[in-house]
Amino acid sequence: MIKIRIIAYFFLIFCIFENVNAKSYKIGDKISEEIEFYKKYKFELPSGTWTIADRFRYSYYGATAKGYKLLKIKGNKAIEGFSIAELDIGARFQSAFNDVLHLIMFKNEYDGCYDRPEYYILEYFTKGSSHNCFWISHEDVYKELFNPDDPELRGVNAQYKAWLRDNKIELPKIAIGSSHSYFSRLTGGKWFVMTHGFDPEVLGAPKSEFIDEDRSEYHKYNINNYPDHKKIMEKVVSFGAKRHKQFELEVRAKEHHKINLSSLISNSLEIGNVEQNDDIITQINRLRDLLKSGILTEEEFKKAKEKILN
Q: Are both 282 and 156 inside the same structural domain?
A: no
Q: Is 135 inside any structural domain? A: yes
Q: How many domains does the chain have?
A: 2
Q: Is 1 inside any structural domain? A: no
pTM: predicted TM-score of the whole model, two decimal places:
0.81
DSSP H helices in 15-107? 94-102
Q: Is 202 inside any structural domain? A: yes
Q: Are both 281 and 258 inside the same structural domain?
A: no
Q: Are both 142 and 211 inside the same structural domain?
A: yes
Q: Are both 290 and 242 inside the same structural domain?
A: no
Q: Are both 289 and 262 inside the same structural domain?
A: no
Measured CA to CA in angstroms, residue 245 lies from 239, 258, 279, 300 at distances of 10, 8, 29, 44
Q: Is 198 inside any structural domain? A: yes
**3-state class (DSSP) for residue 238:** helix
pLDDT at 14: 44
Q: At what angle do helices 274-292 and 298-309 cross, to 10 degrees?
A: 170
Q: Are both 46 and 122 inside the same structural domain?
A: yes
Domain, as residue range, for 286: 273-310
Q: Are both 214 and 309 inside the same structural domain?
A: no
Q: Is 97 inside any structural domain? A: yes
Q: Are both 45 and 180 inside the same structural domain?
A: yes
Q: Are both 293 and 196 inside the same structural domain?
A: no
Q: Is 300 inside any structural domain? A: yes
DSSP secondary structure of 20-44: ---SS--TT-EE-SEEESSSS-EEE
Measured CA to CA in angstroms, residue 31 lies from 86, 101, 138, 199, 233 at distances of 19, 31, 26, 20, 27
Q: Is 79 inside any structural domain? A: yes
Q: Are both 178 and 288 inside the same structural domain?
A: no
Q: Are both 203 and 289 inside the same structural domain?
A: no
CB 101 within 8 A of CB 193: no
Phi and psi dihedrals of 73, rounded to 5?
-115, 135
Q: Is 175 inside any structural domain? A: yes
Question: pLDDT tens, position by position, for the chain (310 residues)?
Answer: 655 555 555 545 444 444 443 347 999 999 999 999 877 888 999 989 999 999 988 776 667 888 999 999 999 999 999 999 998 876 666 777 778 888 888 888 888 899 998 899 999 999 988 999 999 999 999 998 888 888 877 777 889 999 999 999 999 999 999 999 999 989 888 899 999 999 999 999 999 999 998 999 999 999 999 999 999 999 999 999 999 999 999 999 999 999 999 999 987 656 555 555 555 556 666 667 667 767 667 777 777 766 665 5
Q: Are both 189 and 308 inside the same structural domain?
A: no
Neighbours of 211 (CB within 10 A): 14
CB 246 within 8 A of CB 192: no
